[in-house]
Amino acid sequence: MFEGFKPFTITTQSDPKVDIYGLSSGDASSSSLPPLLLVHGFPQTHHIWHLVVPQLTSKYTVVLMEIRGYGRSSTPPDLAAYAKSAMARDCISVMDALGFGAFFVCAHDRGVRVAHKL
């Protein structure tokens, strides 16, 4: 479904530490295309982007991540860990780990509320 994408799991340095799962078409060292982070909504995972991604990969280095509590990402037990600002910090951690200091973002549903905190 996401041919050519590489899976990743990045552990954030937040408290609590969270493992964020995702897929990337490249990183800063392997692509000269501008980075685009796609953030899913509720109650979805990165799979919602499967029809959109093929139209984006020629113009962007596409990064798909599953926000905490969804899909293969960690599920912290404390409700306070699900603040949109905490999820936004996860986005920054992922993009930093991939070598992107600046990036575009496209979000859907609950992901928009996360993106707003970036």
Q: Residues 14-63: pLDDT tens digits?
A: 888 999 999 999 888 888 999 999 999 999 999 999 999 999 999 999 99
Q: Residues 50-71: pLDDT tens digits?
A: 999 999 999 999 999 999 999 9
- pTM of the full structure: 0.94
Return the closest-CA partner of residue 26 out of 61, 77, 1, 51: 61
pLDDT of 1 > 90? The answer is no
CATH of domain 6-116: 3.40.50.1820
What pLDDT, on the 0 to 100 scale, is given for residue 31? 85
Contact at 8 Å (CB) between 40 and 108?
A: yes
Please give the share of the chain, as a percent, with pLDDT higher than 70.
100
Phi, psi (deg, nearest 5) at residue 47? -60, -20
What pLDDT, on the 0 to 100 scale, is given for residue 104? 98
What pLDDT, on the 0 to 100 scale, is given for residue 18? 96
What pLDDT, on the 0 to 100 scale, is given for residue 46? 94
Average pLDDT of the chain is 95
Domain ranges of the chain: 6-116
Return the closest-CA partner of residue 65 out of 16, 3, 5: 5
Going by their DSSP bridges, the two strands 61-65 and 19-24 should be labelled as antiparallel
